[in-house]
Amino acid sequence: MKRQSAVMRELSRWAFPDPEEPVDEQPAPISPVVLQRCLEFAATETAALHQARAERALRSGSGGAVLLPQSAPLRYSA
């Protein structure tokens, strides 16, 4: 029984390790890939909002909207 309990505790420690505390309590750095995706998403979102506002202004007939050319084509994600 003692051997079985010891094995179960060891397996539990292996499966669920204690998280290591950061020494300087600074947040972990964001990987460059994740950062690039976040930046691309923000740029796409901003371009879509500008385009939607310009189209809405044209439909409402206010005439104050200016359509800006897109600096980069929007990409679709899965």
Q: Hey, where are the domains in the chain?
A: 29-60
Q: Report the length, in residues, of the chain.
A: 78
Kindly tell me if the per-residue pLDDT of 39 is higher than 90: yes
Predicted TM-score (pTM) of this structure: 0.42
- Rounded to the nearest angstrom, the gap between the alpha carbon of residue 24 and the centroid of all alpha carbons in its chain is 25
Structure tokens of 59? 């439909």
53 Cβ contact partners less than 8 Å away, ≥ 6 residues apart? 65
Under a CB-based contact definition with an 8 Å cutoff, are residues 74 and 51 in contact? no
DSSP code at position 61: T
Kindly tell me if the per-residue pLDDT of 45 is higher than 60: yes
Tell me, what's the pLDDT at 73? Answer: 64
Compute the C-alpha angle 66/50/69, nearest 5°: 55
